[in-house]
Amino acid sequence: MKQTASCYQAFFSAEDRFLNPHIVPGFEPDVIVDFIQSGVTLAACYQSGTKNPNPLLQELFLRRVFFNLLKAIDHRGHSRIFRRVCWDYLHCPLLALKKYYGDSQAGKQRFLSLQREIRQVQHTSGF
């Protein structure tokens, strides 16, 4: 239980730093990578084969990281560097979600929906 609590603490503190609009220039990659890594780690606490498997929480945290990155990419208030680093690391939660969805037909549909979201943001953001 202590491990899960520390994962939650790491994730929410990393998310707070990620969502803070006043990031010190030069530290953008550190903030983004820490947020992604803590989110994927927290989701891994709930995958099958762990002490407390919960597929809904696993998907929730992976999608939360994915959509926060998409919002940051599309947000014109962030610096171009911050948005570019988010774009470069978007594959991390996307691949974790692809693995989570597996080969089921419903999973394929959900993954295609995520790909459509990426194309829409790519079109509007110019990346």
Residue 66, Ramachandran bin (φ over 0: left; ψ between -120 and 50: alpha; else beta):
alpha
Output the pTM of the full model.
0.93
Residue with the bigger pLDDT between 125 and 90: it is 90
pLDDT at 73 over 70: yes
Mean of the per-residue pLDDT values of the chain: 92
Query: Which tokens belong to 95?
Result: 């691949």
pLDDT tens track for 5-59: 999 999 999 999 999 878 778 899 999 999 999 999 999 999 988 888 999 999 9
Return the pLDDT at 1.
65
Residue 76: exposed, middle, or buried by beta-carbon count in 10 A (0-12, 13-18, 19+)? exposed
Query: Which tokens belong to 94?
Result: 């996307």
Residue 93 carries which side chain, given as an amino acid letter?
P
